[in-house]
Copies of this chain bind each other. A is one copy, B any other.
Amino acid sequence: MLPKFVTLYEVGPRDGLQNEAQVVPTDIKIALINRLAAAGLREIEATSFVSPKWVPQMADNAAVMAGITRALGVVYPVLTPNLMGAEAALAAKADTWAIFTAASETFNQRNINCSIAESIERFRPVMELARRHDVRVRGYVSCTLGCPYEGAIAPDKVAEVTRALFDLGVYEVSLGDTIGVGTPNKVAAMLEAVLKIAPAEKLAIHCHDTYGQALVNIHEALKHGITIVDSSVAGLGGCPYAKGASGNVATEDVLFLLNELGIETGVDLHAIVRTAWFIADHLGRAPSSKVAHALKDKLAD
């Protein structure tokens, strides 16, 4: 019923640090990414090739990509929202890229200033460049379980946008609960619609823990055959829609659940918790996860 192995796709250095108010120095980012790889993570989203005018936190994208130690068997995807970003990602030797759209028209308009259909068109030259250079591209769909502007999102709409991304040529689609309003029932309905158009092994679940529901939702997704889970060490990122609230589910909380369910990940929990405290200490605040606190005094050397 549950998968035997789950891939944790780490989004802390990108989706996490991009949403932190303070800009983290490049050497700390590099140390963070190298620690995450050493902990056993095999997919670590490293940075975003987006205009520094919009996202100053990621202005050092090329320096981060040049500075990290590329570990064998580890991929370091980067966000490439447009052709200019993709060209910069190519120059930085990023082997995996990611593009994002939403299942909500209003959210897309407010977030990336175009309709869903326009966003798909905007990605065509990115995909073309990727194909020419043998780069894999991941797709993200935001607001798959609810939208801050539109409220409920129809599961069929999520399936439609997911299909459009696969038609573009992405190798995998990550289904995001951007505002953390998901529940197991909504996850089940959404996945049942999306699984009609794509196999489970090409789908990731990306849960936010705004209302503490991420693990319940991830557990439900696992029961639907999902084997790729996005998470953010220390719960990096916060929530732009509710001040002080949690955003991305913490890697260590997800890993604890998977470990206890007997699901293999290849990732060392204590190493992740140490890394969570490393970056949290740097940011001057505690990790948002329960596990980091519970294990703080029990870490093995």
Contact = CB atoms under 8 A, between A and B. Distances in A.
Interface string A203-222: 00000011111011001000
Given A184-B219, A242-B298, A209 B290 contact: yes
Nearest to A259: B183
A291 to B, nearest CB: 5
A243 B211 contact: no
A243 to B, nearest CB: 6
Interface in A174-213: 180-181, 183-186, 209-213
Contacts of A296: 242-245
Contact of A293 (B245, B250, B291): B245
Nearest to A210: B294
A297 interface: yes
Contacts of A180: 294
A50 B293 CA distance: 30
A167 interface: no
Contact of A213 (B181, B244, B257): B257
A134 interface: no
A49 B267 CA distance: 47
A18 interface: no
Interface in A213-247: 213, 215-216, 219, 239, 242-246
Q: How many monomers of this chain does the complex have?
A: 2
A229 to B, nearest CB: 13
Interface centre among A210, A242, A260 (most CB of B within 10 A): A260
Contacts of A184: 219, 261
A256 interface: yes
A210 B256 CA distance: 11
Contact of A246 (B181, B186, B219, B294): B294
Nearest to A262: B185
B257 A216 contact: yes
A296 B253 CA distance: 23
Given A290-B246, A294-B245, A260 B210 contact: no
Contacts of A253: 211-212
A70 B236 CA distance: 44
19 contacts: A184-B219, A185-B261, A185-B262, A209-B290, A211-B291, A211-B294, A212-B212, A212-B290, A212-B291, A213-B257, A242-B293, A242-B297, A242-B298, A243-B297, A244-B296, A245-B290, A245-B293, A245-B294, A245-B296
